[in-house]
Amino acid sequence: MDITFFSVHPNFSIQGKSYNEKELGIYATSLLLSEKSYLVHLGTFLLEWLAEGNEISVQTSGSTGTPKPLSFTKSAMQAHAQLTGQFFNLIPGHKILLCLPTQFIAGKMMVVRALSLGLDLWVSPPSNHPLDFFKTTFDFVAMVPSQLEASIPLLNCCRKVLIGGAPLIGSLKRKAVLAVQTEPTELFLSYGMTETLSHIAIAKLTLEDQVIFSLLPHIHIKENDRGCLSVIAPYISSDTIHTTDIVRILDASHFEWLGRLDFVINSGGVKIHPESLEKAHEKYFSFPFFYSGIPHDLLGEQLVIVVAQEYLKESQEILAKIQFGTKFYKPKGILTVAEFLYTHTFKLRRKDTLGLGYKVHDL
């Protein structure tokens, strides 16, 4: 793919004020003196982008283990920004909202899109209500699910909203889609990770239960030897990027996400995808829960449900009413924990949550 590299696009602006490379460097340096940490982080990243080196360091979210540092070339980040621009028809002058932390890849890439495509970047303080700070219309906004939920009354001021960073529960998806049915607002769900410079596939949200992801241009996928998704993105890496995500590949450009290999439960030879089971049952629960596996002498692992201690009795009552269809999908016990642990984007840290200790209650 042909990319014209702009350290700073001629049309780039921040809240309507244009900046060339020199002016942006002065502005970024001034942000380092701010008492607001989110502005210091933004200034730090802008200076890193403007520096002579060609690599940017990022850190993974830590949802499946200890966060680890990675590095990417600026040209790779800009190439990804160009593909996102093509997918969402972003053009110079379009107004976008940064409401994600720039310490992590999602926030960094919002800034890179503005710098590379000549967009007008608006910056929100850290908040679950980022749209409350402005009385304007945005062409493109990226949010995590908790921000989406709090922003539903104001979604009509956004043309395109991209949701990512954590799973989107069905009830919230339906509520958001219904809220914008008569508005010119489109909602999208992203699939991606730090290793792929944020999203490599997008799904437009509708009232349909099934969510089908469409690949960005120049992205290719295949199933690897472990049955997991592998991503071929030459602009990011000459090596194939291997994931632990289990998907159903529908054709060369579309797939359905099923769950993570890390969390698959093998119970008596039956492989259970807890995320798929959670999606099917979330309508019954008004509180957080997840499915997991614990050792079993005969089966290898047995399926259990994990809830906070305060919801034990309510969970027992709910599970007694659910029609599981097959005995393999019916949990054999309840694990209660003191609390659920999450990443900065509210992605559940399953292993760390169980690592705090739990009590087993038979069903």
Q: How do residues 124-155 score in pLDDT, each as one tens digit?
A: 998 999 999 999 999 999 999 999 999 999 99
Check residue 307 and give its pLDDT: 96
Paired sense of beta strands 290-296 and 300-308, if any: antiparallel
Q: DSSP characters for 76-128?
A: HHHHHHHHHHHHHT--TT-EEEE-S-TTSHHHHHHHHHHHHHT-EEEEPPS-S
* Token pair recorded at residue 126: 């850290």
d(CA 156, CA 327): 45
Q: How do residues 157-173 score in pLDDT, each as one tens digit?
A: 999 999 998 888 888 99
* Percent of the chain topping pLDDT 90: 79
d(CA 142, CA 126): 13
* Percent of the chain topping pLDDT 70: 97
d(CA 138, CA 159): 6
The answer to whether the CB of 308 falls within 8 A of the CB of 334 is no
Average pLDDT taken over every residue of the chain? 93
* Token pair recorded at residue 2: 């042909």
> Above 80 in pLDDT, residue 1?
no
Check residue 114 and give its pLDDT: 98
* Full set of structural domains in the chain with CATH: 13-261 (3.40.50.12780), 264-362 (3.30.300.30)
Check residue 242 and give its pLDDT: 92
d(CA 315, CA 295): 22
d(CA 2, CA 5): 10
Confidence grade of residue 62 (pLDDT, cut at 50, 70, 90): low
Q: How do residues 203-228 score in pLDDT, each as one tens digit?
A: 999 999 889 999 999 999 999 888 89
Confidence grade of residue 50 (pLDDT, cut at 50, 70, 90): very high
What's the whole-model pTM score?
0.86
> Above 90 in pLDDT, residue 5?
no
* Token pair recorded at residue 195: 């290793």
Q: How many CB atoms lie within 10 A of CB 108?
A: 27
Site of tokens 């999208």: 188
Confidence grade of residue 347 (pLDDT, cut at 50, 70, 90): confident
